[in-house]
Structure formats: C-alpha cells, structure tokens
Structure 1
Amino acid sequence: MGLLRDDILDEDKIVTEALRRLDPDVLAERNFRIIRAGYLCMRKDVLPEEEWTKLENDVLYLQPFIKQVEEELAEKEQWERE
C-alpha cells in the first residue's frame, strides 16, 4: 500500500500529541499515504511495484516524538506524585 510502519499506529493520546509536533510537510506526506492506501483498498487495487515501500526506506519518523511525549508524561506523573 506504500505505507510506513509509523503510518499505521493506533492514534491514542501519545501518538496524537506526537503527530501534533510533526513538521507540517511530514504530516502532509503521512496523510497522503494513508488516504492513498484507503483509496487503493476501496478499489481492491495495489500500488505498482516501483512505488512499494522498500524496507531500507521505511523510517520510523514518529518514534522520536513518541519517546519525547512518553518521557514528558512520565516526568509529569512523577511531579504529581511528589
């Protein structure tokens, strides 16, 4: 479908905040990939092989933001306990 691994994460509180922090261009690219995958699924079609995501091109673009949000929430929780 041309998706990256981070494109298919469930949008919970942490992922939603991480998406908010993404560069607008990266977010637009993500949205395009998701919409294209939905369109292809609806048509019961697949991308041409030259447009498939290669394993070496599958970057985890959202993971640094997710880690940052998780650390901030953990720190906030620790401050609230004290």
Structure 2
Amino acid sequence: MSDVTQRAIPDLLTPVVEAFNQWRGHGRRGRIPNDLWDQATALVDHYPRTVITEALCVSVDALEQQCIKRNLPASKT
C-alpha cells in the first residue's frame, strides 16, 4: 500500500487493515478467516465498498459475497 493510500485510510478502517496485514504477515494462505470478514463487512455502512476493498487488498466480488452471506444490503452502485 502506498504512503498516500495509507495516510488516506479513515480511522474506522485502520484497525481492520492492520488485522488483515497481520494475518497476511504470518504467511498464511487460503481463505480469509471469518473474523476478518466480519470486521470488513461491518464497515460497509461507513465507507464505499471500493475504499474498503482497496485498503484491504481484496476484490469487490469477494466483499460482495461476504456481504450477501451476512444479509447486508446490496452495493450502492
């Protein structure tokens, strides 16, 4: 993530970004754990989904699928 992007991350998003980075930093591969998805999907009422996906380095489709699993509203696009 670039310095500009890092500085632009809103406060609620920062701890989630750190959690994702910590998980990735341990060399883990495979599916993102549900607890991380819970944190990511909790942000959809606060930020545009593109902001969330760019900050967390996940695809928009992956976030959308997780939102659907959690019965969250469809993307506002």
Q: TM-score, normalised by structure 1?
A: 0.33
